[in-house]
Structure 1
């Protein structure tokens, strides 16, 4: 009997448009001989099933079901394609855990921790994971530009702590530009992380649970046409993404080992994509994404293809792992 799969997409953050693209690719790719996929849009003002005619049917949040033609539909598994809140920060994971519905991403704690860049990096540092020098600010704190520059130097990156797709990120070259960059970041979140600039090769490493084992996918090198890997570079073709990355054997071995260590130390499951920059030959972790882009052009699917894993196999494996 075919299993009912809810593909959740959308979300409450600036990333919702990208999430809708990812979710639709999952919906269109799932093996129809094994699964009945349902497109579920999750927004602040509505949770709805969207049928082939774009008609909407309200989701009952009590048990995450939908009623169609007087028949109640429940789901065997949820495929999580929500980037940002509430799909990547632990809220949906907790909700489905309470309802005892399997879902394809990591668990609530891991999602919440990795979504908070500051907490994630702080958790990993005792394990020897190298990171950039950082300075933290909360909304309402007094801004001491001199102290920031003394700690992290210039240029530096000002980032919204809990946001993705490079929303709320600025590269700052002069102390006088710090305040504006901080204001931009506070539009996305009430916490900010300011990091030293790491001048080196940037790579993205996909790590997944594949057929019961932790698998590090072929590494992607990021070469941005812009000043850094910003929204335009990520989604509007302003970058070259080279898979496999142009790394020495030593660099490849090092970053593969660290990416796998991060995944296993955090007790991750499902998809992950970690970003690193090499400084003095050593990979420094920037962040961990637990619901990475899943369009055909996205980095993780590119890496899976390089490993001989088709999109259909990638998504099928995620569901099978969740159902275990």
Structure 2
């Protein structure tokens, strides 16, 4: 197949996406596919006649896949373009995507997962992996997805939202500690645990640097798990632990003391099955399809759905590839299975 792997973009998770994109590209090329690796924001400043030559089976260089822990702001990302433009797609991006049989969405974060790219592709009849524009938008917005969880009787942490940092503890229907995060965002950028009211305004203000609205959640002190779903099949659960602090951006993408347990033996089998079923129920509630990942917390043997990821990370340290490996699925096979699953979904429509 001719495949475009679309990565980079203009979200705070740009560097994560670039790392995922190179790994996905090489995996699909190793399977014999002709793959073009494209940065959706910077685009391709080459003559249109040369675009076809970018579909190749030659491996990309993976020697520089270390992800910077720098938080990329909109200003820093826009400065990467030399012409001063800030459009969603760079030069020739749509043209080369139209040349492909399907686009593998290696984007992460706001403009990769919020449905904008998916909506454009739907208009231009471009096939792509992952969920559609509506499900992507709902899942990306943590407040909206929380409301769907509640309406679908999926247990989740208590929450509220704010568009201002001028907020008092009395405005919040639960106590400290609590978690604040941008309503639209990922990779824990702008996310904080607030211990008491003295930190409230400062931490909310930081979350609002990355989105116009911030979500506040009750802090659930429990075990953290993640369950990926591919083609309707839940993979083995991963448990995430850290020696110090919590599972923030640094722990997710920089080599450190994080330990990923694949279905820990002390996890009750019934609880594991319940978690996998909740992942499937979350997919159905949000209208997700093809693949994704659902994050959970477990306290006193009660499982809480925290959020869903429609385009989960595929970096060397990401959770989904580890789950697939535990199920006997190699990285390359996982990428190809995602492609095959979405092709099947398109065929059924």
TM-score, length basis structure 2: 0.82
Give yes or no for contact 2:45–2:92 (8 Å, CA) kept in 1: no
Aligned partners of 1:222 and 1:33: how far apart in 2?
A: 31
Give yes or no for contact 1:38–1:49 (8 Å, CA) kept in 2: no
Aligned to 2:236: 218
Aligned partners of 2:130 and 2:224: how far apart in 1?
A: 25
Residue-by-residue CA offset, 1:69-88 (whole Å, 9 max, x unaligned): xxxx8111100010012211
Structure with higher strand content: 1
Deviation at 1:32, TM superposition (A): 4.7
Q: Does 1:146 align with 2:186?
A: no
Structure 1 runs (4+) deviating above 6 angstroms are none
Q: Which runs of 5+ in 2 are unaligned?
A: 47-53, 62-89, 345-349
Give yes or no for contact 2:4–2:96 (8 Å, CA) kept in 1: no
Aligned partners of 2:20 and 2:225: how far apart in 1?
A: 21
- What secondary structure sits across from 2:110 in the alignment? coil
Deviation at 1:14, TM superposition (A): 1.1
Q: Which runs of 5+ in 1 are unaligned?
A: 67-72
Aligned partners of 2:95 and 2:302: how far apart in 1?
A: 45
Deviation at 1:33, TM superposition (A): 5.6
Q: Structure 1 pair 35/239, CA: closer, same or farther in 2 (3 Å)? A: same
Deviation at 1:296, TM superposition (A): 3.2
The 5 A counterparts of 1:109-128 are 109-128=134-153
- What secondary structure sits across from 1:47 in the alignment? coil
Out of 65, 86, 94, the position equivalent to 2:111 is 86
- What secondary structure sits across from 1:241 in the alignment? strand
Structure with higher helix content: 2
TM-score, length basis structure 1: 0.88
Aligned partners of 1:217 and 1:114: how far apart in 2?
A: 20
Deviation at 1:319, TM superposition (A): 1.4
Q: Does 1:199 align with 2:221?
A: yes
CA RMSD between the two structures: 2.2
Give yes or no for contact 2:179–2:217 (8 Å, CA) kept in 1: yes
Out of 239, 246, 257, the position equivalent to 2:258 is 239
